[in-house]
Amino acid sequence: MSDKSLAAFPVLGAISATALTAAFVIPGLFLAADDSASTGMLVLAIVLFVIAAYLAAFVGIFFSVALAACANRSLQGEDTTVREGIAAARHRIPQIAGWAAVTTTVNLIIRAIEARFQGVGGSIVAALGGLAWALVTFLAVPVITFEGTGPWQTLKRSSGLFRQRWGQQVVGLGVTTGVVALFGILPGIVAVFFGIALLPGAAGIALVTIGALAILVGSILSATLSQVLAVALYRFAADGVAVGPFTEEQLNSVVRPRRGRRGEATI
Could you report the per-residue pLDDT of 9-18, keeping only the tens digit for each?
A: 888 888 888 8
Residue 138, in any domain of the structure: no
Counting the structural domains of the chain, the total is 1
Residue 190, in any domain of the structure: yes
Q: Which of 54, 55, 51 is nearest to 16 (CA)?
A: 55
* Residue 182 per-residue DSSP state: I
How far, in Å, CA of 162 to CA of 129, rounded?
A: 16
Q: Which residue type is seen at 45?
A: A
How far, in Å, CA of 229 to CA of 13, rounded?
A: 19
Confidence of residue 164 (pLDDT cuts 50, 70, 90): low
Can you tell me whether residue 74 is helix, strand or coil?
A: helix
Residue 205, in any domain of the structure: yes
Residue 250, in any domain of the structure: yes
Residue 189, in any domain of the structure: yes
Beta-bridged to residue 265, according to DSSP, are 259
Taking the CA atoms of residue 148, residue 151, residue 157 and residue 163 in that order, the dihedral angle to the nearest 10 degrees is: 150
Residue 265, in any domain of the structure: yes
How far, in Å, CA of 216 to CA of 209, rounded?
A: 11
Determine the average pLDDT of the residues in 157-179: 59
pLDDT in tens, 38-93: 777 888 888 888 898 898 889 888 998 998 888 888 887 787 888 888 999 999 99
Q: Which is more confident, 55 or 173? A: 55
pLDDT in tens, 222-266: 667 777 777 777 777 666 666 666 666 665 555 444 444 444 333
Q: Which of 26-35, 174-183, 242-251 has the lowest mean pLDDT?
A: 174-183
Residue 158, in any domain of the structure: no
Q: How many CB atoms lie within 10 A of CB 256?
A: 13
Residue 186, in any domain of the structure: yes
Backbone dihedral region of 78: left (phi > 0), alpha (psi from -120 to 50 degrees) or beta? beta
Q: Which of 2, 76, 33 is nearest to 224 (CA)?
A: 2
End-to-end CA distance of the chain: 28
Q: How many residues does the chain have?
A: 267
Q: Which domain holds residue 189?
A: 165-267
pLDDT in tens, 91-119: 999 999 999 999 899 888 887 777 777 66
